[in-house]
Amino acid sequence: MRREGSALAGAGVVMMKELADNLSSARMRLLEVLVFVAGAGAVYATIGEVRNIVSEDPFVFLRIFTTAKAPLPSFVAFLGFLIPIVAIALGFDAVNSEFNRRTMSRLLAQPIYRDAMLFGKFLAGLATLAIMLTALWLFVIGLGVLLLGLPPSGEEVARAFVFLVIAVAYGGVWLALALLFSVAFRSAATAALAALSVWLLFAFFWSMLVSLAAPLIAPVDPDDVFSALHNANVVEGLSRLSPNTLFAETALAVLDPSIRALGAILSSQLEGAVKSPLPFIQSLALIWPQVTGLIACFLGLFTIAYIAFQRQEVRA
């Protein structure tokens, strides 16, 4: 049985309204301040380190993003940490708030499909995230130009831009998760807590869980080199189930051209390799599996949210 009319009619209207709400909400202002302060702090701290190696590295500008200066983590690590929080804050009450405000049935009685509501809300969240990250990105690059006194090269700008796109995609994964919880839980507080516990799991506990689980799945035999390799592969596979790992690996590989491979490599594989930075295209090829993983993760979460929302009863 086919429905008539476009499923996307009204999605643009919903998106513009939600975008306006997002950008003007107090919640978003607070997060913007937090992210800008954290980002600026991280970058400012690393500039001193980066200055010392200006003459050694052709891609010194990108070091602003990846260099850590204790006790502060690097800018990339900061983002890996903060983007999920911003995305969750944007999405955790997207759908359930419409029920709680009792606006859902009134809105759905307008000539739009439910699809428009969910797409509009997701796109608005993603657009908010993209605006914020782009502003932060420009801010950091500007700060770098000012403090280092040298402009980024064309390739550096291209690499940094790919990093920006990946950061937005990573936010999209967490936004889809938050949206899913906002459909699944009628109470916004429950949805927020559920999303934050998933974030906590991946941000802090995942690596511990992996190091606990890996020896059980692939025990290391001291006499067998291949068992150690197998173990390393299992650790890698398990940790890549976390979107945080995928983001960290992708960001690092695209921002640091000296990274030639992600994960374990044997010294035999490196034999005869010329020690030079990886071309841009090769870096993209290197991160492609991780990017695919992020996209798959997003699609999976969004599809579950979509199906759950379509099946939900309108009456509260």
Partner 1 sequence: MSAPVIQAEALTKRYGAALAVDNLNLTIDEGEVFGLLGPNGAGKTTTILMLLGLTEPSSGRATVAGFDPLRQPLEVKRRVGYMPDSVGFYDHLSGLANLRYTAALCGLKNVEADKRIAASLARVRLTDAAAKPVHGYSRGMRQRLAIAEILMKGASIAILDEPTGGLDPQSTREFLDLIRSLKHEGMTILLSSHLLELVQSVCDRVALFNRGRIGLEGRVDDLMRSVLGGSHVIRVEAQGADLKRVIEGAAGVAHVTETAEGFTIEAAEDVRAAVARAIIEAGGALTRLEAGHASIEDVYTRYFEGARDAA
For binding to partner 1 (CB under 8 A), which residues are involved?
1-5, 9-10, 13-14, 17, 21, 101-103, 105-113, 313-315
Q: Choose between 212 and 316: whose C-beta lies nearer to partner 1.
A: 316
Nearer to partner 1, 38 or 116 (CB): 116
Find, among 193, 248, 287, the residue nearest to 79 by Cα.
248
Minimum gap (Å) between residue 121 Cβ and partner 1: 13
Q: Helix, strand, or coil here: 69? A: strand
Nearer to partner 1, 170 or 306 (CB): 306
Lookup: tokens for 7: 């499923």
Query: What's the angle, vertex CA 257, arms to CA 256 and CA 261, rounded to 5?
Result: 95
> 10 Å Cβ neighbour count for 232?
15
- Residue 109 or residue 146: which is nearer to partner 1 going by CB? 109
> Shortest Cβ distance from residue 307 to partner 1 (Å)?
15
Q: Shortest Cβ distance from residue 93 to partner 1 (Å)?
A: 13
Minimum CB distance to partner 1 smaller for 1 or for 70: 1
CB of 105 to partner 1, least distance (A): 4
**Under a CB-based contact definition with an 8 Å cutoff, are residues 61 and 144 in contact?**
yes
Minimum CB separation of residue 89 from partner 1 in Å reads: 17
The residue among 257, 250, 251, 67 whose CA lies nearest residue 156 is: 257
Residue 122 CA neighbour count, 13 Å, CB half? 28
